[in-house]
Structure 1
Amino acid sequence: MHRVAAQLGVTKMALYRYVPGKAELVALMVEAAIGPYPPVKVRHGGWREQLEEWAGQLFDVFRQHPWALDATVGPRIMGPAELSWLERAVSALDGTGLSGAERMDAAALLVGHVRGITQQARATGPAGNPEAQLGALLGNLMQAHGERFPALTAALTSAAQSHGQDQAWEFGLQRILDGLAALIDRRVR
Protein backbone atom coordinates (compact mmCIF):
# COMPACT_ATOMS: atom_id res chain seq x y z
CA MET A 1 0.00 0.00 0.00
CA HIS A 2 2.87 2.33 0.85
CA ARG A 3 4.52 1.83 -2.56
CA VAL A 4 1.26 2.38 -4.46
CA ALA A 5 0.51 5.50 -2.45
CA ALA A 6 4.00 6.85 -3.19
CA GLN A 7 3.57 6.22 -6.92
CA LEU A 8 0.24 8.04 -6.86
CA GLY A 9 1.75 10.92 -4.89
CA VAL A 10 -0.56 10.52 -1.92
CA THR A 11 -0.11 9.32 1.62
CA LYS A 12 -0.82 5.73 2.53
CA MET A 13 -3.72 6.85 4.70
CA ALA A 14 -5.22 8.79 1.76
CA LEU A 15 -5.23 5.59 -0.27
CA TYR A 16 -7.34 3.92 2.43
CA ARG A 17 -10.18 6.31 1.55
CA TYR A 18 -10.55 4.40 -1.69
CA VAL A 19 -9.65 0.83 -0.79
CA PRO A 20 -9.81 -0.77 2.65
CA GLY A 21 -6.67 -2.86 2.23
CA LYS A 22 -4.18 -4.68 0.06
CA ALA A 23 -6.55 -7.53 -0.87
CA GLU A 24 -9.08 -5.09 -2.30
CA LEU A 25 -6.36 -3.17 -4.14
CA VAL A 26 -5.04 -6.36 -5.74
CA ALA A 27 -8.59 -7.37 -6.71
CA LEU A 28 -9.05 -4.01 -8.43
CA MET A 29 -5.73 -4.42 -10.23
CA VAL A 30 -6.73 -7.89 -11.46
CA GLU A 31 -10.11 -6.55 -12.59
CA ALA A 32 -8.45 -3.76 -14.58
CA ALA A 33 -5.81 -6.02 -16.10
CA ILE A 34 -7.85 -9.02 -17.19
CA GLY A 35 -11.12 -7.25 -17.88
CA PRO A 36 -14.36 -9.10 -18.44
CA TYR A 37 -14.51 -12.14 -20.68
CA PRO A 38 -14.97 -10.90 -24.25
CA PRO A 39 -18.65 -10.85 -25.22
CA VAL A 40 -19.83 -13.93 -27.06
CA LYS A 41 -22.20 -12.89 -29.82
CA VAL A 42 -23.07 -16.40 -30.94
CA ARG A 43 -22.03 -19.63 -29.29
CA HIS A 44 -20.07 -21.50 -31.86
CA GLY A 45 -19.09 -25.11 -31.61
CA GLY A 46 -19.75 -27.43 -28.75
CA TRP A 47 -18.46 -27.32 -25.21
CA ARG A 48 -15.02 -28.56 -26.26
CA GLU A 49 -14.41 -25.81 -28.81
CA GLN A 50 -15.73 -23.22 -26.39
CA LEU A 51 -13.34 -24.36 -23.65
CA GLU A 52 -10.39 -24.48 -26.08
CA GLU A 53 -11.08 -20.87 -27.01
CA TRP A 54 -11.57 -19.88 -23.38
CA ALA A 55 -8.31 -21.50 -22.26
CA GLY A 56 -6.40 -19.86 -25.12
CA GLN A 57 -7.77 -16.44 -24.22
CA LEU A 58 -6.91 -16.94 -20.55
CA PHE A 59 -3.41 -18.03 -21.54
CA ASP A 60 -3.02 -14.80 -23.53
CA VAL A 61 -4.20 -12.71 -20.56
CA PHE A 62 -1.69 -14.35 -18.21
CA ARG A 63 1.12 -13.90 -20.75
CA GLN A 64 0.25 -10.20 -21.06
CA HIS A 65 0.02 -9.77 -17.27
CA PRO A 66 2.34 -12.36 -15.67
CA TRP A 67 2.05 -10.68 -12.26
CA ALA A 68 -1.60 -11.81 -12.26
CA LEU A 69 -0.40 -15.40 -11.79
CA ASP A 70 0.69 -14.54 -8.26
CA ALA A 71 -2.26 -12.22 -7.62
CA THR A 72 -4.90 -14.84 -8.46
CA VAL A 73 -3.88 -17.71 -6.19
CA GLY A 74 -6.06 -19.10 -3.42
CA PRO A 75 -9.17 -17.76 -1.74
CA ARG A 76 -9.39 -14.03 -2.37
CA ILE A 77 -11.65 -11.21 -3.37
CA MET A 78 -12.90 -11.53 -6.94
CA GLY A 79 -14.66 -8.89 -8.97
CA PRO A 80 -17.27 -9.14 -11.71
CA ALA A 81 -14.71 -9.19 -14.55
CA GLU A 82 -12.86 -12.17 -13.11
CA LEU A 83 -16.15 -13.89 -12.33
CA SER A 84 -17.25 -13.42 -15.96
CA TRP A 85 -14.32 -15.64 -17.02
CA LEU A 86 -15.42 -18.36 -14.63
CA GLU A 87 -19.04 -17.95 -15.74
CA ARG A 88 -18.02 -18.47 -19.36
CA ALA A 89 -16.14 -21.69 -18.64
CA VAL A 90 -18.91 -23.13 -16.46
CA SER A 91 -21.65 -22.15 -18.92
CA ALA A 92 -19.76 -23.82 -21.80
CA LEU A 93 -20.53 -27.09 -20.03
CA ASP A 94 -24.28 -26.46 -19.79
CA GLY A 95 -26.29 -29.41 -21.03
CA THR A 96 -23.44 -31.89 -20.71
CA GLY A 97 -24.87 -33.81 -17.78
CA LEU A 98 -22.11 -32.63 -15.44
CA SER A 99 -23.19 -31.34 -12.06
CA GLY A 100 -22.50 -27.76 -11.06
CA ALA A 101 -19.65 -28.89 -8.84
CA GLU A 102 -18.12 -30.90 -11.68
CA ARG A 103 -18.36 -27.94 -14.05
CA MET A 104 -16.61 -25.77 -11.45
CA ASP A 105 -13.94 -28.45 -11.01
CA ALA A 106 -13.48 -28.65 -14.78
CA ALA A 107 -12.92 -24.88 -14.91
CA ALA A 108 -10.44 -25.10 -12.02
CA LEU A 109 -8.59 -27.94 -13.78
CA LEU A 110 -8.31 -25.87 -16.97
CA VAL A 111 -7.16 -22.80 -15.04
CA GLY A 112 -4.48 -24.97 -13.41
CA HIS A 113 -3.20 -26.08 -16.80
CA VAL A 114 -3.20 -22.52 -18.15
CA ARG A 115 -1.37 -21.29 -15.05
CA GLY A 116 1.21 -24.07 -15.15
CA ILE A 117 2.10 -23.55 -18.80
CA THR A 118 2.17 -19.77 -18.38
CA GLN A 119 4.48 -20.09 -15.38
CA GLN A 120 6.82 -22.34 -17.38
CA ALA A 121 6.87 -19.82 -20.22
CA ARG A 122 7.55 -16.98 -17.77
CA ALA A 123 10.44 -18.91 -16.21
CA THR A 124 12.08 -19.54 -19.59
CA GLY A 125 11.72 -15.98 -20.87
CA PRO A 126 9.93 -14.50 -23.88
CA ALA A 127 11.74 -16.62 -26.47
CA GLY A 128 11.92 -19.68 -24.25
CA ASN A 129 10.75 -23.14 -25.13
CA PRO A 130 10.52 -25.11 -21.88
CA GLU A 131 10.84 -28.53 -23.52
CA ALA A 132 13.90 -27.53 -25.58
CA GLN A 133 15.53 -25.92 -22.56
CA LEU A 134 14.86 -28.96 -20.39
CA GLY A 135 16.33 -31.21 -23.08
CA ALA A 136 19.45 -29.06 -23.28
CA LEU A 137 19.87 -29.05 -19.50
CA LEU A 138 19.38 -32.77 -19.18
CA GLY A 139 21.36 -33.71 -22.30
CA ASN A 140 24.77 -33.73 -20.60
CA LEU A 141 23.39 -35.54 -17.57
CA MET A 142 21.87 -38.24 -19.74
CA GLN A 143 25.11 -38.68 -21.68
CA ALA A 144 26.95 -39.27 -18.43
CA HIS A 145 24.26 -41.19 -16.52
CA GLY A 146 21.72 -42.30 -19.14
CA GLU A 147 22.16 -45.99 -18.40
CA ARG A 148 20.75 -45.39 -14.89
CA PHE A 149 17.65 -43.70 -16.34
CA PRO A 150 16.66 -45.66 -19.47
CA ALA A 151 13.02 -44.50 -19.63
CA LEU A 152 14.00 -40.85 -19.24
CA THR A 153 16.76 -41.24 -21.82
CA ALA A 154 14.31 -42.75 -24.32
CA ALA A 155 11.74 -39.99 -23.66
CA LEU A 156 14.33 -37.24 -24.11
CA THR A 157 15.59 -38.85 -27.31
CA SER A 158 12.03 -38.92 -28.65
CA ALA A 159 11.50 -35.28 -27.64
CA ALA A 160 14.73 -34.29 -29.40
CA GLN A 161 13.41 -35.88 -32.59
CA SER A 162 10.51 -33.40 -32.48
CA HIS A 163 13.20 -30.69 -32.58
CA GLY A 164 12.31 -29.52 -29.09
CA GLN A 165 8.86 -28.42 -30.21
CA ASP A 166 6.91 -27.32 -27.14
CA GLN A 167 3.84 -29.53 -27.08
CA ALA A 168 2.92 -29.26 -23.41
CA TRP A 169 0.16 -26.66 -23.93
CA GLU A 170 -1.76 -28.55 -26.59
CA PHE A 171 -1.04 -32.00 -25.15
CA GLY A 172 -2.31 -31.07 -21.68
CA LEU A 173 -5.32 -29.15 -22.95
CA GLN A 174 -6.43 -32.01 -25.19
CA ARG A 175 -5.97 -34.64 -22.46
CA ILE A 176 -8.07 -32.57 -20.02
CA LEU A 177 -10.79 -32.16 -22.63
CA ASP A 178 -10.59 -35.87 -23.53
CA GLY A 179 -11.14 -36.72 -19.86
CA LEU A 180 -14.14 -34.40 -19.67
CA ALA A 181 -15.52 -35.94 -22.89
CA ALA A 182 -15.25 -39.43 -21.40
CA LEU A 183 -17.09 -38.30 -18.25
CA ILE A 184 -19.77 -36.52 -20.28
CA ASP A 185 -20.23 -39.62 -22.47
CA ARG A 186 -20.76 -41.77 -19.36
CA ARG A 187 -23.39 -39.32 -18.10
CA VAL A 188 -25.29 -39.25 -21.37
CA ARG A 189 -25.63 -43.05 -21.58
Structure 2
Amino acid sequence: MGSPEHGSGTASGSGVLWTAPPTGRRGPKPQHSLAGIAAAAIAVADAEGLAAVTMQRVAECLDTTKMALYRYLPARSDLDAIMLDSALGTPPAHIDSGWRETLTAWTRSLFDRAVQHPWTAELTQHPHVPGPAELAWYEAGLAATAALPLSGGERLDLLALLSGHALSLVRQRTGSTSPEADLAAGLAPVLAAHGDRYPLTSAAFSTAALDDSRDQALQFGIEAILTGIAAMVAAR
Protein backbone atom coordinates (compact mmCIF):
# COMPACT_ATOMS: atom_id res chain seq x y z
CA MET A 1 0.00 0.00 0.00
CA GLY A 2 1.25 3.43 -0.89
CA SER A 3 -0.01 6.70 0.49
CA PRO A 4 -3.81 6.54 0.43
CA GLU A 5 -4.13 10.19 -0.47
CA HIS A 6 -1.58 11.39 -2.99
CA GLY A 7 0.41 10.12 -5.94
CA SER A 8 2.79 11.69 -8.40
CA GLY A 9 1.12 11.25 -11.72
CA THR A 10 -2.10 9.77 -12.99
CA ALA A 11 -3.40 6.66 -11.29
CA SER A 12 -3.81 3.75 -13.65
CA GLY A 13 -4.07 0.01 -13.97
CA SER A 14 -7.32 -0.53 -12.10
CA GLY A 15 -9.88 -1.15 -14.83
CA VAL A 16 -9.53 -4.91 -15.13
CA LEU A 17 -9.77 -5.37 -11.37
CA TRP A 18 -13.08 -3.54 -11.08
CA THR A 19 -14.75 -4.63 -14.31
CA ALA A 20 -16.90 -7.72 -14.01
CA PRO A 21 -16.07 -10.37 -16.66
CA PRO A 22 -18.71 -10.63 -19.36
CA THR A 23 -21.21 -13.46 -19.02
CA GLY A 24 -23.12 -15.30 -21.70
CA ARG A 25 -20.71 -14.19 -24.42
CA ARG A 26 -20.71 -16.25 -27.58
CA GLY A 27 -17.52 -17.71 -28.92
CA PRO A 28 -14.71 -19.81 -27.49
CA LYS A 29 -14.13 -19.86 -23.75
CA PRO A 30 -11.16 -17.69 -22.69
CA GLN A 31 -7.99 -19.75 -22.35
CA HIS A 32 -6.64 -17.76 -19.42
CA SER A 33 -7.85 -15.99 -16.30
CA LEU A 34 -6.58 -12.89 -14.56
CA ALA A 35 -5.63 -15.07 -11.59
CA GLY A 36 -3.61 -17.38 -13.81
CA ILE A 37 -1.86 -14.51 -15.56
CA ALA A 38 -1.07 -12.89 -12.21
CA ALA A 39 0.34 -16.15 -10.86
CA ALA A 40 2.66 -16.51 -13.86
CA ALA A 41 3.88 -12.92 -13.56
CA ILE A 42 4.39 -13.26 -9.79
CA ALA A 43 6.47 -16.40 -10.30
CA VAL A 44 8.79 -14.47 -12.63
CA ALA A 45 9.02 -11.48 -10.28
CA ASP A 46 9.76 -13.67 -7.27
CA ALA A 47 12.50 -15.55 -9.09
CA GLU A 48 14.13 -12.77 -11.11
CA GLY A 49 12.81 -9.43 -9.91
CA LEU A 50 10.21 -7.01 -11.20
CA ALA A 51 12.37 -5.85 -14.12
CA ALA A 52 12.17 -9.33 -15.63
CA VAL A 53 8.39 -9.19 -15.87
CA THR A 54 7.27 -8.23 -19.36
CA MET A 55 4.16 -9.06 -21.32
CA GLN A 56 6.33 -11.18 -23.63
CA ARG A 57 7.86 -13.13 -20.75
CA VAL A 58 4.51 -13.79 -19.09
CA ALA A 59 3.05 -14.88 -22.41
CA GLU A 60 5.88 -17.39 -22.83
CA CYS A 61 5.21 -18.78 -19.35
CA LEU A 62 1.57 -19.31 -20.33
CA ASP A 63 2.48 -20.76 -23.73
CA THR A 64 0.65 -18.01 -25.57
CA THR A 65 1.50 -14.80 -27.42
CA LYS A 66 1.95 -11.29 -26.14
CA MET A 67 -0.86 -10.05 -28.34
CA ALA A 68 -3.18 -12.71 -26.88
CA LEU A 69 -2.55 -11.32 -23.40
CA TYR A 70 -3.74 -7.90 -24.47
CA ARG A 71 -7.25 -9.40 -24.70
CA TYR A 72 -7.14 -9.61 -20.91
CA LEU A 73 -4.82 -6.71 -20.05
CA PRO A 74 -5.09 -3.59 -22.23
CA ALA A 75 -1.91 -2.06 -20.75
CA ARG A 76 1.22 -3.03 -18.83
CA SER A 77 -0.11 -1.09 -15.84
CA ASP A 78 -2.96 -3.59 -15.71
CA LEU A 79 -0.43 -6.41 -15.32
CA ASP A 80 1.16 -4.53 -12.42
CA ALA A 81 -2.28 -4.03 -10.89
CA ILE A 82 -3.29 -7.69 -10.91
CA MET A 83 0.15 -8.73 -9.64
CA LEU A 84 -0.01 -6.32 -6.70
CA ASP A 85 -3.57 -7.16 -5.72
CA SER A 86 -2.94 -10.89 -5.95
CA ALA A 87 0.31 -10.72 -3.98
CA LEU A 88 -1.12 -8.60 -1.17
CA GLY A 89 -4.26 -10.69 -0.88
CA THR A 90 -6.89 -9.81 1.68
CA PRO A 91 -5.78 -8.91 5.19
CA PRO A 92 -6.00 -11.65 7.83
CA ALA A 93 -8.76 -11.34 10.38
CA HIS A 94 -7.54 -10.01 13.70
CA ILE A 95 -9.07 -10.68 17.09
CA ASP A 96 -11.06 -7.65 18.19
CA SER A 97 -8.89 -5.75 20.66
CA GLY A 98 -7.72 -2.22 21.35
CA TRP A 99 -6.84 0.10 18.50
CA ARG A 100 -3.10 -0.04 19.23
CA GLU A 101 -2.99 -3.83 19.26
CA THR A 102 -5.10 -4.06 16.12
CA LEU A 103 -3.04 -1.54 14.17
CA THR A 104 0.17 -3.20 15.31
CA ALA A 105 -1.09 -6.56 14.03
CA TRP A 106 -2.30 -4.88 10.80
CA THR A 107 1.12 -3.35 10.13
CA ARG A 108 3.01 -6.54 10.96
CA SER A 109 0.69 -8.53 8.69
CA LEU A 110 1.29 -6.11 5.82
CA PHE A 111 5.04 -6.37 6.38
CA ASP A 112 4.92 -10.18 6.45
CA ARG A 113 2.83 -10.30 3.27
CA ALA A 114 5.12 -7.88 1.41
CA VAL A 115 8.28 -9.69 2.52
CA GLN A 116 7.04 -12.76 0.66
CA HIS A 117 7.04 -10.67 -2.54
CA PRO A 118 9.50 -7.78 -1.97
CA TRP A 119 8.74 -6.19 -5.33
CA THR A 120 5.29 -5.23 -4.01
CA ALA A 121 7.02 -2.43 -2.08
CA GLU A 122 7.98 -0.89 -5.42
CA LEU A 123 4.59 -1.37 -7.07
CA THR A 124 2.76 0.28 -4.19
CA GLN A 125 4.74 3.45 -4.90
CA HIS A 126 3.49 3.67 -8.49
CA PRO A 127 0.44 5.90 -8.98
CA HIS A 128 -2.50 3.49 -9.06
CA VAL A 129 -6.06 2.98 -7.94
CA PRO A 130 -6.20 0.19 -5.32
CA GLY A 131 -7.79 -3.07 -6.33
CA PRO A 132 -10.31 -5.05 -4.26
CA ALA A 133 -7.71 -6.79 -2.09
CA GLU A 134 -5.65 -3.68 -1.44
CA LEU A 135 -8.79 -1.73 -0.62
CA ALA A 136 -9.66 -4.44 1.91
CA TRP A 137 -6.42 -3.53 3.72
CA TYR A 138 -7.59 0.08 3.89
CA GLU A 139 -10.96 -1.04 5.24
CA ALA A 140 -9.39 -3.21 7.93
CA GLY A 141 -6.97 -0.48 8.98
CA LEU A 142 -9.65 2.20 9.07
CA ALA A 143 -11.91 -0.04 11.13
CA ALA A 144 -9.21 -0.15 13.80
CA THR A 145 -9.30 3.65 14.06
CA ALA A 146 -13.08 3.88 14.49
CA ALA A 147 -12.91 4.78 18.19
CA LEU A 148 -10.30 7.50 17.71
CA PRO A 149 -11.29 11.19 17.41
CA LEU A 150 -9.54 11.60 14.07
CA SER A 151 -10.74 13.14 10.83
CA GLY A 152 -10.99 11.05 7.69
CA GLY A 153 -7.79 12.59 6.37
CA GLU A 154 -5.96 11.88 9.63
CA ARG A 155 -7.06 8.24 9.56
CA LEU A 156 -5.70 7.88 6.04
CA ASP A 157 -2.49 9.64 7.05
CA LEU A 158 -2.07 7.21 9.94
CA LEU A 159 -2.35 4.25 7.57
CA ALA A 160 0.12 5.95 5.23
CA LEU A 161 2.63 6.31 8.08
CA LEU A 162 2.27 2.69 9.17
CA SER A 163 2.28 1.15 5.70
CA GLY A 164 5.10 3.43 4.55
CA HIS A 165 7.19 2.38 7.55
CA ALA A 166 6.56 -1.32 6.95
CA LEU A 167 7.22 -1.18 3.21
CA SER A 168 10.40 0.90 3.60
CA LEU A 169 11.80 -1.90 5.78
CA VAL A 170 10.80 -4.47 3.16
CA ARG A 171 12.93 -2.56 0.65
CA GLN A 172 15.85 -2.57 3.09
CA ARG A 173 15.64 -6.35 3.42
CA THR A 174 16.37 -6.98 -0.25
CA GLY A 175 18.98 -9.73 -0.22
CA SER A 176 19.18 -9.87 3.59
CA THR A 177 17.00 -10.87 6.52
CA SER A 178 19.12 -8.87 8.97
CA PRO A 179 20.03 -5.59 7.27
CA GLU A 180 21.13 -3.78 10.44
CA ALA A 181 23.41 -6.61 11.52
CA ASP A 182 24.86 -6.80 8.00
CA LEU A 183 25.44 -3.04 7.98
CA ALA A 184 27.17 -3.28 11.35
CA ALA A 185 29.42 -6.06 10.08
CA GLY A 186 30.35 -4.03 7.02
CA LEU A 187 31.05 -0.92 9.08
CA ALA A 188 33.03 -2.70 11.79
CA PRO A 189 36.48 -2.29 10.20
CA VAL A 190 35.68 1.29 9.18
CA LEU A 191 34.60 2.30 12.69
CA ALA A 192 37.52 0.42 14.21
CA ALA A 193 39.89 2.55 12.17
CA HIS A 194 37.96 5.85 12.27
CA GLY A 195 35.82 5.61 15.39
CA ASP A 196 37.38 8.78 16.82
CA ARG A 197 35.82 10.75 13.94
CA TYR A 198 32.39 9.19 14.45
CA PRO A 199 32.15 8.54 18.19
CA LEU A 200 28.35 8.64 18.44
CA THR A 201 27.88 6.30 15.49
CA SER A 202 30.47 3.91 16.85
CA ALA A 203 28.85 3.94 20.30
CA ALA A 204 25.36 3.37 18.89
CA PHE A 205 26.44 0.35 16.85
CA SER A 206 28.38 -1.08 19.79
CA THR A 207 25.47 -0.65 22.18
CA ALA A 208 23.03 -2.21 19.71
CA ALA A 209 25.26 -5.26 19.50
CA LEU A 210 25.46 -5.61 23.28
CA ASP A 211 21.76 -5.21 24.06
CA ASP A 212 20.58 -7.25 21.06
CA SER A 213 18.49 -4.37 19.70
CA ARG A 214 19.43 -4.74 16.06
CA ASP A 215 16.80 -5.32 13.41
CA GLN A 216 13.97 -4.23 15.69
CA ALA A 217 13.04 -1.22 13.57
CA LEU A 218 9.62 -2.53 12.58
CA GLN A 219 8.26 -2.75 16.12
CA PHE A 220 10.09 0.38 17.25
CA GLY A 221 8.59 2.41 14.43
CA ILE A 222 5.08 1.07 15.01
CA GLU A 223 5.27 1.92 18.71
CA ALA A 224 6.67 5.38 18.00
CA ILE A 225 3.89 6.18 15.51
CA LEU A 226 1.09 4.86 17.72
CA THR A 227 2.48 6.52 20.85
CA GLY A 228 2.44 9.82 18.96
CA ILE A 229 -1.18 9.24 17.93
CA ALA A 230 -2.13 8.38 21.53
CA ALA A 231 -0.52 11.59 22.78
CA MET A 232 -2.25 13.68 20.11
CA VAL A 233 -5.63 12.14 20.91
CA ALA A 234 -5.11 12.68 24.65
CA ALA A 235 -4.33 16.36 24.05
CA ARG A 236 -7.62 16.97 22.23
Per the normalisation by structure 2, the TM-score is: 0.72
* Deviation per residue, 1:9-30 (Å, 9 max, x gap): 2222211111111111111122
Mean alpha-carbon deviation: is it higher for 160-169 or for 78-87?
160-169
Structure 2 unaligned blocks of 5 or more: 1-54
Answer yes or no: is 1:104 the counterpart of 2:148. no
Answer yes or no: is 1:77 the counterpart of 2:126. no
1:57-136 equivalences in 2 (<5 Å): 57-124=109-176, 128-136=177-185
Task: Give the counterpart letter for 2:73 in structure 1.
Answer: V
Equivalenced residues, count: 182
The Cα of 1:121 is off from its aligned counterpart by 2.0
Answer yes or no: is 1:155 the counterpart of 2:201. no
Structure 1 unaligned blocks of 5 or more: none
Higher helix share: 1
Per the normalisation by structure 1, the TM-score is: 0.89
Mean alpha-carbon deviation: is it higher for 31-40 or for 53-62?
31-40
Alignment partner, residue 177 of structure 1:
226
The Cα of 1:62 is off from its aligned counterpart by 0.7
Runs of 4+ in structure 1 off by over 6 angstroms are none
Q: Percent identity?
A: 45
Task: Give the counterpart letter for 2:197 in structure 1.
Answer: R
Alignment partner, residue 96 of structure 2:
44
Q: Secondary structure at the match of 1:148?
A: coil
Cα 1:2–1:163 shift into 2, 3 Å? same
Query: Does structure 2 conserve the Cα–Cα contact (< 8 Å) formed by 1:35 and 1:82?
Result: yes
Q: How far apart, in 2, do the equivalents of 1:139 and 1:32 lie?
A: 41
Query: Does structure 1 conserve the Cα–Cα contact (< 8 Å) formed by 2:121 and 2:168?
Result: no
* Deviation per residue, 1:13-69 (Å, 9 max, x gap): 2111111111111111222222122345xx521111110110111111011111212
Q: Secondary structure at the match of 1:122?
A: coil
RMSD: 1.6
Q: How far apart, in 1, do the equivalents of 2:105 and 2:96 lie?
A: 10
Alignment partner, residue 13 of structure 1:
67
Q: How far apart, in 2, do the equivalents of 1:149 and 1:38 lie?
A: 44
Task: Give the counterpart letter for 1:19 in structure 2.
Answer: L
Task: Give the counterpart letter for 1:54 in structure 2.
Answer: W
